[in-house]
Amino acid sequence: MYNLILKDFKLGVPLIYLIMPFLTGALMFIPGWIYFIVLLYFCWITMPNMFGGFRAQNDLMFTAMMPVTKNDIVKAKVSVIVLLELLHIVIAMIFGMISINLYTNITYYFFEPHMGFWGLCFVMFGIFNICFISIYYKTAYKYGEATLVSIVAAMLFAGIAQWIGIESSYVHDIFYGAGLDRTALQASILIAGILVFIALTVIGYRIASKRFPKVEI
């Protein structure tokens, strides 16, 4: 499995996709922006391009002829997606922390980049993953439907979460303006978000690993 991940990073993931987290992460410096968009760029750009590359290079057949199990093929691809997502989210978090300290006097209309917000981002990626991974492995090469459905699902979640954050004063109080008193609450939202991300990704992987063995290569 480790060899398959290495294979993808050496052959299927061009350097630009490892630089992208820094480029999109830098958007965290736009004061008071909709920061969900920073991570959505991964879904809009990196994912379809990367999977288009896999298809163009006949990666599926290449991999299927190696002495590896079909389960490992799915597990490795899911790991590559998760590793790239973590890279995007961690770099955005670091840039977000700098951004918050840089602009001390602005009013955030959209979510402030505190821990609670990053928890929501993990949930967004989890929703993206369960949709993308499960749909993609119906064929293991058609990525259009998987990309479309997963992006719409992730954007709907982000849009609804943001709308509630603005409309509901209760939710607004939780996510906006992190004081020391709210660090515990924010951290627990982050942890809950991470757990949801793990759960949704694992479910996506399970569905995919049931579907992939039936695929004709």
Partner 1 sequence: MLALDIRNVSKKYKNFELKDISFQLEKGYIMGFIGANGAGKTTTIKSILNLIHIDSGEVRILGKNLAEHELELKQEIGFAFGDVDFHNRSKVKTLTDVIKKFYKNWNDDTYYSYLRKFKLDENKKISELSTGMKVKYNLALALSHGAKLLILDEPTSGLDPVARDNLLEIFQELVGEGEISILFSTHITSDLEKCADFITFIENGQIVKSAEKEAFVETYRLLSGKESQLSEVKELLISYKKNSFGFTGLIHADDFDPASGINAAIPSLEEIMIYFAKKEDMYV
Tell which one of 16, 57, 159, 184 touches partner 1 (CB under 8 A).
57
CB of 153 to partner 1, least distance (A): 31
CB of 15 to partner 1, least distance (A): 13
Instruction: Check residue 59 for interaction with partner 1 (CB under 8 A).
Output: yes
Count of all residues that appear for the chain in the document: 217
Examine residue 65 and tell whether it contacts partner 1 (CB under 8 A).
Answer: yes
Candidate list 1, 27, 34, 68; residue touching partner 1; CB under 8 A: 68
| Helix (H), strand (E), coil (C) string for the chain | CHHHHHHHHHHHCCHHHHHHHHHHHHHHHCCCCCCHHHHHHHHHHHHHHHHHHHHHCCHHHHHHCCCCCHHHHHHHHHHHHHHHHHHHHHHHHHHHHHHHHHCCCCCCCCCCCCHHHHHHHHHHHHHHHHHHHHHHCCCCCCCHHHHHHHHHHHHHHHHHHHHHHHHCHHHHHHHCCCCHHHHHHHHHHHHHHHHHHHHHHHHHHHHHHHHHHHCCC
Q: What character string, x for contact with partner 1 (CB under 8 A) and - otherwise, covers 6-25?
A: xx--xxx-------------
Q: Whose Cβ is closer to partner 1: residue 18's or residue 198's?
A: 18
Per CB under 8 A, the list member of 16, 29, 52, 58 interacting with partner 1 is: 58
Q: Judged by CB under 8 A, which stretch of 67-75, 155-163, 166-174, 204-212 contacts partner 1?
A: 67-75
Considering beta carbons, is residue 3 or 188 the nearer one to partner 1? 3
Measured CA to CA, the distance from residue 150 to residue 1 in angstroms comes to: 25
188 binds partner 1 (CB under 8 A): no
* Residue 18: φ, ψ to 5°: -90, -20
Q: Applying CB under 8 A, what is the total number of residues that bind partner 1?
A: 20
Minimum distance from residue 208 beta carbon to partner 1 (Å)? 17
**Of residues 10 and 107, the one with the C-beta less far from partner 1:** 10
Q: Which of 16, 31, 52, 62 touches partner 1 by CB under 8 A?
A: 62
Which of 23, 61, 98, 191 binds partner 1 (CB under 8 A)? It is 61
**Residue position matching structure tokens 């597990």:** 75
Residue numbers at the binding site for partner 1 (CB under 8 A) = 3, 6-7, 10-12, 57-59, 61-62, 64-69, 214, 216-217
